[in-house]
Amino acid sequence: MFQGVVKRLCFAPNSSVSLYVRHFCKKSHRKLRISEAISSSSSSQLGVNITVQGWLRSVRPQKANIFLHVNDGSSLQSLQVVAGAELNNPLLTFGSAVEVSGVLKKSPHKTQPVELEADVIRVLGECNPVDFPFKIKKRHGLEYIRQFPHLRCRTNVFSSLLRIRSEATSAIHSYFKDNDFVQIHTPIITSNDCEGAGELFQVEPSSAHDGHFFSVPTFLTVSGQLHLEAMAGAFSKVYTFGPTFRAENSQSRRHLAEFYMVEAEISFTQSIEDLTKVMEDMFRSATEHVLAHCVEDVDLFHRHVTPGHRETVDGMLKKCFPVITYSEAVDILNRSSEQFAFPSDWGCDLKTEHEKYLVKHCGNVPVFVTDYPYDLKPFYARDNQDHPQHTAAAVDLLVPGVGELCGGSLREERLSVLRARLEELGLEDVNSWYLDLRRFGSVPHGGFGLGFERYLQCILGVDNIKDVIPFPRFSHSCVL
C-alpha cells in the first residue's frame, strides 16, 4: 500500500508534490495528529521524522526562518513549525491547509514542549487572507463568528466549544451506561404532540401526494418521552439523547427550533427524589468529566469569553442542589423587592426572570422546584391528589445564568385518572395507545428531559444558545 501511494504521487505534475515524494522516498515519516506531536516531549517521537496536516493559525516570516502554527482540531494548542526562509511561500497564509514533514524536536521555548523542524511544506488548500472573514492575531467575538456558521469551526473558540460538546456528549452516555440505563433510539418523526403545546413542525413529502404520506398527520418530535414511557414498560431504566424540534417563534437566548435533549425514564419509582438524584448525579458527573478532560478548552471560555465563570461552576459542584416547592418559590418571589415584568402569583408559570431570581436567592447554585400547579403541566404529569392545592408531581431544575435546564415529572400511571385527564383535554383518541401502557402492567414511573445546549451554556457561561450548537436553527433562520 505504501508503494502504491508513492507511485501515484510520483506521477503528480505539481512540483511541491514531487519534492514531497523525493523526500518521502528517502525517509519514512510517521503521520501524527497535532495533539500526539505536542504530547511527545518525553517520548520516543523526539528526533523522529513525522508528517502533520492541518490549517495555519499563524505565520511569522523572519529573515532566516519562517515560523508557523499548525492546528488540526485535535487540541486547542497548535504545533509550532520552524523552517528555513527558503521554504517560505506566498501561499502560506492564515487559514490555508498544509502538510508539513520534518523532525520533531524539543523546543527551546518555555511556552511549547516541542517544535517541528520542517524540511517539506506543502500547501494543500489556499486561503485568501483578504477575503477570509477571520484575521490573524485577532480574537473575534462569538457574535461576530456566528455570522459564518460554515467557517466558525476554524476559530480557536468555536473549535474548543465543539470539542467540549463532543466530550460532554460522551460523558452523558457514560453516566447512563455506568448506571445501567438502556439507550433507546426514539423516533424523529412522530404522530403525537408530547407536550401538547402545539409547537409542532409538520412532516410531509415535498412532492405532491394524495393525503398524508403516513396516512396521519406527522411531526418532528418535540420530546421522546412518550416512546421512552412505552419502553419503560419493559426496561426499568431507559434514556435517549437526540435532536428535538419546537416551532417556538422565539428569538430568545435560550430557545432554538432544533436542539438536543437528554431524556431518562425510570420505572418503579414513586418519588420525585429518585428523579432529582439522577438529574443531579448526571449534571455533576458530566461536568466533572468535562472539567477534567477539556482543561484548556474550558479555560479558554472561562478566561476570555466569560471571565469569572469558573468560580460559579466550582460553586455549583460544591453544594447539594437545594429543593423548594413551587409554592415556596412563589413566596420568595412575592417577598422580594425586585420589580418583575411578569406576575408571580400562585398559578402563573415561572418566567426566566423569576427562575434567575430564584437561583440567585438560593446562592447561585442549581435549584429544584417541585409540585407545580396541575394546570400548568402536560396531560402526563401525576396528580398530587393529597396536596391541599391542586399540584402535579413535577420538577424543574433551574441553573445559574440560564434558568430552566431540566423539566420532569412522575407520570400519571393510574388508568382512571389518566383517562379522565385526557377526556378533559380532548386528547383521548390521539393517545389511545398511551392508555394501553396503563392497561397492561402499569407501574409508577417518572422521568425528565435536559436541554443539552442549555447545559453547555450553564457550564461555559455562554449567554446565547446559538453559540453552543454547530448549526443553529431558529425562526427566520436556517442557514446551510
Between 52 and 381, name the residue whose CB sits nearer to ligand 4AD.
381
Per-residue exposure over 125-137, b if at least 16 CB sit within 10 Å of its own CB, e if not: eebeeeebebeee
CA distance 342 to 315: 29
Report the nearest approach of ligand 4AD to the CB of residue 121 (Å). Answer: 44
Between 246 and 438, name the residue whose CB sits nearer to ligand 4AD.
246
Between 20 and 245, name the residue whose CB sits nearer to ligand 4AD.
245
Report the nearest approach of ligand 4AD to the CB of residue 224 (Å). Answer: 7
Between 152 and 454, name the residue whose CB sits nearer to ligand 4AD.
454
Report the nearest approach of ligand 4AD to the CB of residue 259 (Å). Answer: 4
DSSP 419-446: HHHHHHHT-TTTTHHHHHHHHSS---EE
Q: Which residues pair with 368 in a beta bridge?
A: 323, 397
Between 89 and 464, name the residue whose CB sits nearer to ligand 4AD.
464
Between 92 and 168, name the residue whose CB sits nearer to ligand 4AD.
168
- Per DSSP, 400 falls in state T
Report the nearest approach of ligand 4AD to the CB of residue 457 (Å). Answer: 10
Residues of this chain that bind ligand 4AD (CB under 6 A): 194-195, 223, 225, 246, 248, 255-256, 259, 261, 263, 404-408, 447-449, 451, 453-454
Q: Is 98 helix (H, G, I), strand (E, B) or coil?
A: strand
Q: Is 368 helix (H, G, I), strand (E, B) or coil?
A: strand
Between 264 and 324, name the residue whose CB sits nearer to ligand 4AD.
264
CA distance 320 to 316: 8
CA distance 49 to 27: 7
Report the nearest approach of ligand 4AD to the CB of residue 33 (Å). Answer: 33
Report the nearest approach of ligand 4AD to the CB of residue 466 (Å). Answer: 10
- Please, which contacts does 170-175 make with residues 24 or more away whose CB atoms are closer than 8 Å? 170/289, 171/285, 171/286, 171/289, 171/290, 171/293, 172/241, 172/262, 172/282, 172/286, 172/452, 173/241, 174/285, 174/289, 175/281, 175/282, 175/285, 175/286
CA distance 189 to 244: 10
CA distance 480 to 471: 8
Rg for the chain, CA atoms, rounded: 27
Report the nearest approach of ligand 4AD to the CB of residue 207 (Å). Answer: 30
Report the nearest approach of ligand 4AD to the CB of residue 85 (Å). Answer: 52
Position 391, amino acid? T
Between 81 and 468, name the residue whose CB sits nearer to ligand 4AD.
468
Report the nearest approach of ligand 4AD to the CB of residue 411 (Å). Answer: 9
Between 72 and 355, name the residue whose CB sits nearer to ligand 4AD.
355
Query: Which residues are CB-neighbours of 287 under 8 A, at least 6 positions away?
Result: 313, 316, 317, 459
Between 57 and 254, name the residue whose CB sits nearer to ligand 4AD.
254
Query: Which residues are CB-neighbours of 14 under 8 A, at least 6 positions away?
Result: none
83 phi, psi to nearest 5 deg: -140, 155
CA distance 231 to 265: 9
Position 289, amino acid? H
Between 105 and 351, name the residue whose CB sits nearer to ligand 4AD.
351
- Per DSSP, 173 falls in state H
Report the nearest approach of ligand 4AD to the CB of residue 174 (Å). Answer: 20
Report the nearest approach of ligand 4AD to the CB of residue 256 (Å). Answer: 4
